[in-house]
Amino acid sequence: MRQQEKGIACSGVSAKKRKKAWNALFIVLAVGIGVAIAFPLFWLIRSSFVTKAELFARPPVFWPKEMQFENFSKGVLRINFLQQLWNSVSIAVPYVAGTVVTCALSGYAFARLRFPLRRMWFALVISSMMLPSVVTLLPQVRLYSALGIANRWALIVPAFLCAGGNAYFVYLLRQFFTTIPKELDEAASIDGAGHVRTFLSIMVPLVKPALIVVGLFSFINCWNEIFYSTIYLQSEEQYTLPLGLLMVQGIKTPNYEQVMALTVLVSLPCLVFFFIGNRYFVEGISTGAVKG
């Protein structure tokens, strides 16, 4: 009997040791992956504060001897910064608003409403994720040219047609809406609330994390968009900040430390919004992926 108890105790101790060893291994692995992912960002920030000699020094200099803040002022002067900043903001803000509104309405309709061929329509929406965007490029260009909006509006209008926010956003919001108890809909209908009132007063506050996730994703996608911008934005006065940065790298002779500083400024809004909404971001992704 005692030998059995000792055996059970030893097996329990060995199981705890194995668990601790696996936990330590996972922690080391997570730290390694985090360092590998964060290192390019660190190198970008470091490169924006060094001199040209330090930038190309071998062995590499991991931190400048003296911070070169003038790299930012010189980098900003290489483009029409304020005009391109306004262009980026004037495109990103309505794009995000249109994406959030249309995808929220679509997700709510697929999750809570009953209409003919609902599953077929949802399957078509999901299947659109397998369709490369370049396939529809030529028809879009011809359509927007015929409508006379083959300019910055061609980057904004698709969001209000649920084309700017891809099918993943619709799927994510649908998953959130399906986690909400249907008793809330029934209680709202008993109180005389219609679908619009139920959606605005009950559903939207409950899916706020998912809406923030959709807003973050759509903002980052729109802010960093290059491909469609090069097609629809033809003059330098219409360029967005990422497109202006691309022109600096591709056409003008670059001072790389200034280009790095300019890259930090262009990337800063995405980083700021991500860190502000990071808690909602993790909550939205995890809940939308697990529940439903």
The total number of residues written for the chain in this structure: 292
Residue that finishes a domain, picked among 50, 70, 90: 70
Which residue has 């059970």 as its token pair? 8
**Rounded to whole angstroms, how far apart are CA atoms 239 and 243?**
6
Residue that finishes a domain, picked among 21, 44, 70: 70
Give how many domains the chain has, as a whole number: 2
| Consecutive H or E run containing 149 | none
More confident residue, 143 or 161: 143
Residue 2 has pLDDT above 60, yes or no: no
Regarding whether 89 and 228 lie in a shared domain, the answer is yes
Share of residues in the chain with pLDDT > 70 (%):
87
**Mean pLDDT, range 133-154, rounded to an integer:** 84
- The answer to which of 49-58, 140-149, 277-286 has the lowest mean pLDDT is 277-286
pLDDT class of 162 with cuts at 50, 70, 90: low
User: Which residues have CB under 8 Å from 259's CB, separation 6+?
Assistant: 75, 78, 245, 248, 249
Residue 260 has pLDDT above 50, yes or no: yes
Regarding whether 209 and 153 lie in a shared domain, the answer is yes
Phi and psi, residue 4, nearest 5° = -65, -40
Among positive and negative, which fits the CA dihedral 79, 81, 87, 88? positive
Regarding whether 166 and 119 lie in a shared domain, the answer is yes
Q: Nearest 5 degrees, angle CA 208-CA 210-CA 216?
A: 105
Residue that finishes a domain, picked among 70, 91, 126: 70
Closest CA to 229 of 98, 123, 90, 118: 90
Regarding whether 158 and 251 lie in a shared domain, the answer is yes
Regarding whether 21 and 128 lie in a shared domain, the answer is no
CB 154 within 8 A of CB 140: yes
- The answer to which of 27-41, 208-222, 227-241, 271-285 has the lowest mean pLDDT is 271-285
Instruction: Please spell the DSSP secondary structure of 79-125, one letter per residue.
Output: TTHHHHHHHHHHHHHHHHHHHHHHHHHHHHHHHH---TTHHHHHHHH
Regarding whether 160 and 270 lie in a shared domain, the answer is yes
According to the model, what pLDDT value does residue 86 have?
A: 93
Residue-range definition of the domain harbouring residue 264: 73-290
CATH number at residue 255: 1.10.3720.10
Helices (H), the chain: 2-47, 52-55, 70-76, 81-112, 118-127, 137-147, 153-160, 167-179, 182-190, 195-198, 204-206, 208-223, 227-232, 241-250, 256-276, 278-290
Phi and psi, residue 59, nearest 5° = -70, 160
Regarding whether 264 and 194 lie in a shared domain, the answer is yes
Regarding whether 155 and 231 lie in a shared domain, the answer is yes
Regarding whether 53 and 163 lie in a shared domain, the answer is no
Regarding whether 118 and 185 lie in a shared domain, the answer is yes
Regarding whether 52 and 119 lie in a shared domain, the answer is no
CB 274 within 8 A of CB 228: no
CB 165 within 8 A of CB 173: no
**Rounded to whole angstroms, how far apart are CA atoms 37 and 21?**
24
Phi and psi, residue 254, nearest 5° = -90, 140
- The number of beta carbons lying within 10 Å of the beta carbon of residue 103 is 27
pLDDT (tens digit per residue) in 84-109: 999 999 999 999 999 999 999 988 98
Regarding whether 124 and 19 lie in a shared domain, the answer is no
According to the model, what pLDDT value does residue 18 have?
A: 81
Which residue has 């290192």 as its token pair? 39
pLDDT (tens digit per residue) in 17-53: 788 888 889 999 999 998 998 898 888 888 888 888 8
